Amino acid sequence: MRTHIFCCVLLGAAANPFATAQDLEELLVSARHDSRTIDVTTALSVAPDAARLLYHAPGANVTSNGPLTGIPQYRGLFGPRIAVTMDGSQLAPAGPNWMDPPISYAVTAQLESLEVYRGIAPVSVAQESLGGAIDARTRRMDFGGSEDFHFEGRLVGSGQSINSGYQLDTDIQGSNEHHRFKLSAMLQDGDDAEFPGGEILPSRYQRERYDVGYGTRWGDHGLQLDYGHNDTGDAGTPALPMDISYFEGDLYKATYRYEPANTLQVVAATYASELDHGMSNFHLRPPPASALHRKNIATTRNRGFRLQVSKGDDRSLWRVGIDGFSEEHDSNIDNPNNPMFFVDNFNRAERRVLGAFVERGQSFNSRLRGEAGLRLNRARSDAGAVNATPAMMMPPAQALREAFNAADREQTDSNVDLVAKLNHHLGDTLVLYAGVAQKQRAPSYQERYLWLPLEATGGLADGQLYIGDIALDSERARTVELGVDHSSERMQLHPRVFYTRIHNYIQGTPLAEDHPATRMVRMMNATNGTQRPDPLRFGNVDAELYGFDMDWSWRASDRLEFSGLLNYVRGKRRDIHDDLYRIAPPNATLRTSLDLGSMSATLETVVYAAQRDVSKTNREQVSSGHGVVNLRGTWHVSPVLQLAVGAENLFDRKYAPHLGGYNRVSNPDVATGQRLPAQGMNLFARILYVF
């Protein structure tokens, strides 16, 4: 274990005399209960991946395939089933295996909040939110009240011992009553992480991010223009068959607002992203034989728009709108040692969703409030013809190619989302909640158009080979949710129970022994001396998920507070006796926080139970339970300067999280196929300075 502690010292400009301690508060992770936002906790995180913040929200978890590749999980569902947006804008990852999940494009130090919509998400929030919705919101300065410009800035630096990692982040903003601008930059770098007994190989990373924004306001009108550039270099993904060589991407957004009165708001936005991605199985991890070297170049083009009109008064609120999102993907695999080898993994695979929604919130009286919403989505997908070297040499691969190219690859799905919620106030401190919903999701391009047995599965990381099914039906989830919100001066308590039944749930299903994909994998095993299991095909099955989650806090005194989370979810197949894949085990978090004015400290205990309810279909391994202790503290040195230090996994426990995936890399410290260990004790420090 490295014994040195890393600390980044930032140099700043002149201090702003109007800044307060409020400017230095840590990132707020908020969860929405119906129409109000509650404070779940403050979160001090120096992790390079913003997904780590989700550990502070009830019902949420993270499936981790690498240091920058955390995929949100909510109540047992993850990947494309959860709508993740950045300031309301969608983004489809460039990596066919979700090496760059949408939340990875959020810069932690520049976030104002990470809003997790508790349970059933409103239809106005996202197009497809079968598994919930998350919105990462960046800090943005408000317009001023005069012609004089007001400027503010923030510098953040952090370092951690576990991987010699550091992060530097800065932004400068200015505004007057008509104009505002923002400039920001971020740099991250880290080496391979350690655990008790060795190193996690490869788990290094490096990333840069630059953003610029300009807004103008005149009368009742406003226009905001934003541009961001992401440049990720080498980054390990030990749970996947390849590692990241690069991600280069440009993100654009323009938003127009018209607010002629307090009761009316019109918002129109258009956004786009151009993402390029390279990966390989030989540049970071020990390379295989030269004949098995693989490099994958993938590109993604995203386009989207949104138009929403909101009109309301003290008792009601209407939201109506239309939105659209399109994504186009190309992915080509080759071997740099063999110019004759190639695979058209995905060729012009596209997916387009056009939606319309109407939503009504109504206060029936002083105690009863309801919300109802309807969304209609039209999803269209298509893909170009494919080819590959194996299809020119192996009859089973040729059969797969011919069947795919001869098929009608253009598919259309018409989906309907329905939401109804009620909140009934029983006095000043107690609210009863009930919600029902139907949510639908059209298949992803991987689930439809993966034509050759490969692992390009959107980050499943189960080690299995898959093929897609062009004729897949949309998933349809029906959910019932009940809860209680208790809020008093000292006590906050927000439990929820839920049940979701999913018809046409998409997951891997076994293939017949005489299927061309099965015969191809067995031929490859015989040729290469490997023992890959028979492939799976994405298919429609029936599933259900049910469980309980709760966040709570109790202020014992003006200085001492106890808080925590409790999460339980069970996911099962309904058509056969099996469990769903990669479901978070039952877990609980207990925090003890001490506030001494300018100084504060938090002691956190996190406990996960063993997970024995695993998917036989996905050949999933069981996992053991574990518990860790974390400690962090902050000191507001002045109204403009904050210091923070902490220790994660304080007692250097060795454990392997159930959602951590399996090792795919030749590593003397971790056997291939073994569940990946978590990081060991990590000492960190952070400095935050506003000016």
Question: What is the C-alpha to C-alpha distance for residues 549 and 530, in angstroms, rounded to an integer?
Answer: 43
Confidence class of residue 29 from pLDDT cuts 50, 70 and 90? Answer: low
Please give the radius of gyration of the chain, using alpha carbons only, rounded to the nearest integer.
25
Residue 637: is its pLDDT beyond 60? yes
How do residues 389-441 score in pLDDT, each as one tens digit?
Answer: 999 999 999 999 999 999 999 999 999 999 999 999 998 999 999 999 999 99
How do residues 521-574 score in pLDDT, each as one tens digit?
Answer: 999 999 888 899 999 999 999 999 999 999 999 999 999 999 999 999 999 999
For residue 639, what are its two tokens?
């109204």
Residue 9: is its pLDDT beyond 50? no
Residue 19: is its pLDDT beyond 70? no
Q: Is 691 helix (H, G, I), strand (E, B) or coil?
A: coil
Say what percent of the chain tops pLDDT 90.
89
Residue 392 zone, left/alpha/beta (φ > 0; ψ -120 to 50; rest): alpha
Give me the pLDDT at residue 175, please.
97
CA 605-609-612 angle, 5° bins? 165
Residues 6+ apart with CB under 8 A from 373: 122, 123, 124, 357, 358, 359, 360, 417, 418, 419, 420
Question: What is the C-alpha to C-alpha distance for residues 75 and 567, in angstroms, rounded to an integer?
Answer: 8
Give me the pLDDT at residue 112, please.
82
Which runs of E-coded beta strand occur in 426-490?
A: 430-441, 466-467, 475-487
Give me the pLDDT at residue 437, please.
98
Residue 8: is its pLDDT beyond 50? no
Average pLDDT for residues 635-643, to the nearest whole number? 95
Average pLDDT for residues 122-149, to the nearest whole number? 94
Altogether, the residues listed in the chain come to a count of 691
Sort strands 682-690 and 179-190 into parallel, antiparallel or unpaired.
Answer: unpaired
Give me the pLDDT at residue 47, please.
87
How do residues 149-189 score in pLDDT, each as one tens digit?
Answer: 999 999 999 999 999 999 999 999 999 999 999 999 999 99
Average pLDDT for residues 201-214, to the nearest whole number? 97
Measured between alpha carbons, how far is residue 47 from residues 102, 109, 239 in Å?
16, 10, 18
- Across the chain, mean pLDDT equals 92
Give me the pLDDT at residue 6, please.
32
User: How far from chain centre, in Å, is Cα 351?
Assistant: 20
Give me the pLDDT at residue 114, please.
85
Annotate 193-220 with b (16+ C-beta within 10 A) or e (fewer).
Answer: bbbbeebbbbbbbbbebebebebebeee
Confidence class of residue 360 from pLDDT cuts 50, 70 and 90? Answer: very high
Domains defined along the chain, listed by start: 21-690 (2.40.170.20)
Residues 6+ apart with CB under 8 A from 72: 51, 54, 60, 61, 62, 63, 78, 82, 84, 101, 103, 134
Give me the pLDDT at residue 42, please.
52
How do residues 458-494 score in pLDDT, each as one tens digit?
Answer: 999 999 999 999 999 999 999 999 999 999 999 999 9
How do residues 308-319 score in pLDDT, each as one tens digit?
Answer: 999 998 889 999
Give me the pLDDT at residue 108, please.
83
Residues 6+ apart with CB under 8 A from 101: 51, 69, 70, 71, 72, 79, 84, 93, 459
The amino acid present at 69, given as its one-letter code, is T
Give me the pLDDT at residue 43, please.
62
pTM of the shown model: 0.93
Give me the pLDDT at residue 14, please.
30
Give me the pLDDT at residue 5, please.
30
Give me the pLDDT at residue 186, please.
96
Question: Between residues 676 and 427, which one has the greater pLDDT?
Answer: 676
